[in-house]
Structure 1
């Protein structure tokens, strides 16, 4: 049987904040959120479960470094992912729009 909870590999539960968009807490699935600090929960709100995943140091995450997430869970029992600054978010929106193919009027078919 493999060990699913080690410093380089861990079964993780991800929870979102009901108070702040794009704020997430990563915790060891076995521990859950019951042992999170009261001060953190007062700011975060009641955690809403999003999904579980087997997190490895090599895993690519959208806005967090997997090694850092694993280290923080090992050290303090959780990793808090803060929302991106508004200016970073707008840069991501612009990049996403730039990567989409342009639609010109000549490419759009109209029904007669």
Structure 2
């Protein structure tokens, strides 16, 4: 009973924090510049919503090597604002689009945050 109550309180606090009307904060961890830095190092990230335990698939390593990115599981509580993750992701998506065309989007995991499928495959996803 106590564990359920603790979990409920924790989730409520997380929701309240997300709904607060605080001014937008800068994005030190994930932004356009950090995306460009990760691209320069050859280690751009594609963000996945997570759960309690990260889920790796057998095909993840193959896709990461073939397309040149790293899946980053964010866990059950996202460490930063979605706005920051989206800003980072847009730079990485544009880079991968330029490198591989838009078809790479059909081969990565469907749950990659903020990623839209290529237009020709939008109805199949």
| Structure (1 or 2) with the greater helix fraction | 2
The TM-score with structure 2 as length reference comes to 0.28
The TM-score with structure 1 as length reference comes to 0.29
| Structure (1 or 2) with the greater strand fraction | 1
